Amino acid sequence: MATKRLKAAGPETDTGRPQPCEPCDALPACLERQLRYNLCREESRHQDLFHALAHGVKEQLLDSWRETRKRDAAGQQRQVAYLSLEFLMGRTLGNALLSLGISDDARKALLPYSVTLEDLESEEHDAGLGNGGLGRLAACFLDSCASMDIAATGYGIRYEYGMFAQKIVDGYQIERPDRWLKEGNPWEVRLHGQAVMVPFFGHTQSYVDRDGRRHMQWVGTQDVVAVPHDMPVPGYRNGRINTLRLWKAEATDDFDLEEFNQGDYAEAVARKNLAEQITMVLYPNDASENGKELRLRQQYFLSSASLQDLLRRHCARFGDNFADFHRHNVIQLNDTHPAIAVPELMRLLLDVYCLEWDEAWHITSHTMAYTNHTLLPEALECWSVRMLGHMLPRVLEIIYEINARYLDEAAHHWPGDGEMLARMSIIEEGAEPRVRMAYLAIVASFSVNGVAALHTELLRRGLFKDFHALWPHKFNNKTNGVTPRRWLMNANPRLSALIDRRLGSAWREDLSRLESLNAFTSDSDFIHAWREVKSVNKEALAALVERECHVQFDTAMMFDVQVKRIHEYKRQLLNILHVIHLYQRILSGDTHGMVPRCVLIGGKAAPGYAMAKLIIKLAGNVAHMVNSDPHVTPWLRFAFLPNYNVSAMEVIAPGTDLSEQISTAGKEASGTGNMKFMMNGALTIGTLDGANIEILEAVGPDNFFLFGLNADEVAALKPHYRPDEYIRHSVALEGVIELIRSGHFSLQEPGIFDPIVSAIESPWDQWMTAADFESYLSAQHQAAALYANKDAWTLCSIRNTAASGRFSSDATIARYRDEIWTGA
Ligand SMILES: *Cc1c(COP(=O)(O)O)cnc(C)c1O
């Protein structure tokens, strides 16, 4: 082929890092060839042009991708396998161009087609293979691993249908299927040659081998084929291309011959669809478990396929010598979703590779590392023993064996304490015995981490305190982070360019250098330029709101934003109550100390979560009243943004002034939305929860609006919580509740918001909305006062960006690398 390719990872420098890629001059030719021969199009829709460009860009990175694989296959680095049921990747094009450093080349290549790069970028369908924070964390981690030259592979599922698309009809959430693959996925490479078989059902039997050793066998299984579809994960200008390997379930070719011969050909073929159901759809539950059998099948399918892949690679290099497997591999479990990988690795080592138990356990327990993502009891996964025994009989036997041996060890620590052992058992006894997946993960892992300092502390003190007493060395904290490539450089090119002008570009490789921005906080030109950038970004956000919500946001007003999954613990309700309070004040003529603001809420509710869906409806109805009253709109505008996703956040974070991080303390494990906003110069109004605490510490109390009870206070208040007292002592809250109760926001459907009023007034309201209301109000008041002073606000904005370096996922991944992934 005549076109010149991007050079593969160049000669090694003495730091061992590969040289950056050469600039690309082949794109125009690639683009034309793609259009003409691959897509068979001459005149094109934007969608076709996007596909041509994406294929062209992928072609540019194939050589480096192959080189990376070869280098890693022979390298000494311990390889990371990041197992996750979710990867919320968003779009790939902008990120790939940025990493390869060929955005300008792409712009030039597009000149003859009279479209802009931005036009084509918006043609790409988000890869929405995740629910929220947990899935987006996995995506940020992949980006950081590649950019830090770490050999890491993401293993996930290629769902045909990702996170549902949210429509709002009459204020109610409607779910629409997300057929993200319908136009094809230009980035993926299907590798049928590397497919593996995953067994289900059947039964176990023992046999004695020629040497007289007894083994177990899992027979009569129904097998499903797992076919890898690889997506490239380019590092930032370093020549490394890591892999996200997504498994697709397909039927085997072996038909039921009997049925086949009896002429039931069509029936026999149709039955094969059952296998393919496994990877059909992502479960849309965030922070709550879903006990469905199909979900367990997905978990096992991912775990087994990924482990077989790792073992095959290991054997290709070392033969069947597994003694050092854990020195070459580490498996990071993203929550308990893939925790079934623990007994599955044991099964493969015992039954397929014929290792002895102790050897297999040594390897497994030095390979597995577990990340916990939540303290909410409804999110802790337990699988029924009955279901496991039916679907995965051999795996269940191994879980029992792991439990028996571990309880022996625990019994040495607490001799004679049967109650303690029952409490700590992996098997929860009862009418319907269940396997506690978190316990299984802890027992088998050499590292157990929480995702923010407070969260890890609460794990140690609360949920896992018995395990912490037994194995304190296993527990460690790794505060989450977000990738600055996507969330600052790509999402906010104007701010990035402004920072380049003051600091040079070194901050792009080391985000802690943003601290130097503090040196310019008395430079009025810089402050002015900073505010200009924010203002232009607010225009882009206002355009999004206008297009999606038909509400006009005015960039002169404060943009006050809360976007995240809708959940009672995240307290979108508290935010709405504040909006109603402002609305009441404006109607009564009391605008003293107020600043004009535009409030935006966005996020999806789990389809079965009635209260979350009702909160969306309340937001919509309040927005309608607010926006249709000309006395109100000069002071207040309110919109609910439908279908919040990664691409929307790339517009939202740069255009936000005030970031709402208002969860009930002790409930949000970390949060990462909070970090994206901070990086883009938003100020936070927040509780002492998750990583907010660390954000406050980094930026200082003068640049953060703190309110509410802390986690200990919430816990202490719980047994004697009296919301009626708080309501009685707050004229504001009383007024807001009365207005909702009066039917002012539900004239068409009287009484629909009664469950919300009852929830606030209930002494069992875990989220303690009433308790924090007054404190929230006064923090909002402070925010308004500061916003009225434009320069003072802008200074705080600069200080937030300047302090955001420690929330780069590069910093987080450096700690995973140094404290978890090295060693063994
Ligand atoms: C960052 C992000 C999240 C997580 O937000 P939190 O505020 O931490 O809950 C969820 N969804 C999307 C699309 C995101 O980009």
| Mutational pocket test of ligand 1: of 141, 490, 565, the residue with most ligand atoms within 8 Å of the beta carbon | 565
Residue 5 has pLDDT above 60, yes or no: no
| Annotated catalytic residue, options 347, 373, 434, 485 | 373
For the CA atoms of 130, 134, 137, 142, what is the dihedral angle to 10 degrees?
Answer: -60
Distance CA 793, CA 601 (A): 22
Ligand 1 cavity residues, CB under 6 Å: 132-133, 136, 564-565, 645-646, 649, 671-673, 676
Q: What is the CATH number that goes with domain 488-498+523-547+557-710+768-805? A: 3.40.50.2000
Instruction: Indicate whether 193 pLDDT > 60.
Output: yes
The pair of structure tokens assigned to 704 is: 């953060």
Please tell me the residue having the least CA distance from ligand 1 atom 9. 564
Is 621 or 265 the better-scoring residue by pLDDT? Answer: 621
- Tokens for 277? 């159901």
- How many angstroms separate the CA atoms of 202 and 218, rounded? 7
Alpha helices of 588-645 — where are they, by DSSP H?
610-627
Of the CA atoms within 13 Å of residue 317, those in its CB half-sphere come to 17
Task: Indicate the pLDDT class of residue 90, thresholds 50, 70 and 90.
Answer: very high
- What band does 259 get if pLDDT is binned at 50, 70 and 90? low
Active site residue 182: no
Amino acid letter, residue 412: H
* CB 278, CB 298: distance < 8 Å: yes
672 CA from centroid of ligand 1 (Å): 6
Q: Which of 51, 91, 326, 565 is catalytic?
A: 565
222-234 and 241-251 strand pairing: antiparallel
Ligand 1 atom at minimal distance to the Cα of residue 646: 13
* Residues 248/279, Cβ–Cβ less than 8 Å: yes
Please state the rounded mean pLDDT for residues 384-394.
98
267-287: average pLDDT: 87
Measure 606 CA to ligand 1 centroid, in angstroms: 15
DSSP conformation class of 508 = G
The helix-helix angle for 93-100 and 46-74 (nearest 10°) equals 50
Report the nearest-CA residue for atom 6 of ligand 1.
673
Tokens encoding 149? 């030259």
Q: What is the pLDDT of residue 18?
A: 41
108 is catalytic: no
Largest CA distance in the chain: 91
11 in Cβ contact with 19 (< 8 Å): yes
* pLDDT for res 257: 63
What dihedral angle (degrees, nearest 10) is formed by the CA atoms of 325, 326, 332, 336?
A: 90
Which is nearest to 495 in space by CA: 780, 798, 193, 254? Answer: 798
pLDDT at 365 over 90: yes
Residue nearest atom 10 of ligand 1, based on CA coordinates: 132
The 10s digit of each residue's pLDDT in 477-525 is 999 999 999 999 999 999 999 999 999 999 999 999 999 999 999 999 9
For 602, the enclosing helix (H) or strand (E) is strand 597-602
780 has pLDDT over 80: yes
Pocket test for ligand 1, best of 563, 570, 684 (most atoms within 8 A of CB): 563
Closest atom, ligand 1, to C-alpha of 671 = 8
pLDDT of res. 25: 61
Residue 593: CB atoms within 10 A of its CB come to 11
Q: How far apart are CA 329 and CA 315, in angstroms?
A: 13
Q: Where are the domains of the chain?
A: 1-75+91-125, 76-90+126-445, 488-498+523-547+557-710+768-805
Q: Cα(19) to centroid of ligand 1, in Å?
A: 34
The atom of ligand 1 lying closest to the CA of 644 is: 13
Instruction: Tell me what pLDDT residue 721 has.
Output: 98
Cβ 307 vs Cβ 111: under 8 Å: no
3-state secondary structure of 102: coil
Residue nearest to atom 7 of ligand 1 (CA): 673
Residue 701 DSSP SS3: helix
Tell me whether residue 818 is exposed, middle or buried, using C-beta atoms within 10 angstroms of its C-beta: 0 to 12, 13 to 18, 19 or more: exposed
Active site residue 676: yes
Which CATH code fits 76-90+126-445?
3.40.50.2000
Q: Indicate if 373 belongs to the active site.
A: yes
| Closest ligand 1 atom to Cα of 88 | 13
Q: Which of 34-38, 247-251, 545-549, 595-599 has the lowest mean pLDDT?
A: 34-38
Residue 537 three-state SS: helix
Distance between alpha carbon 348 and the CA centroid of its chain, in Å? 30
pLDDT at residue 43 in the model: 63
Q: Is the pLDDT of residue 14 over 60?
A: no
CA 582 to chain centre: 33
Give, as one character, the DSSP assignment of residue 12.
B
Rounded to an integer, what distance in angstroms lies between the CA atom of residue 528 and that of residue 636? 25
| d(CA 469, ligand 1 centre) in Å | 33
Cα(671) to ligand 1 centroid in Å equals 7
Q: Residue 36 — pLDDT band, cuts 50, 70, 90?
A: confident
Mean pLDDT of the chain: 94
DSSP state at residue 521? T
Three-state SS string over 12-45 comes to ECCCCCECCCCCCCCHHHHHHHHHHHHCCCCCCC
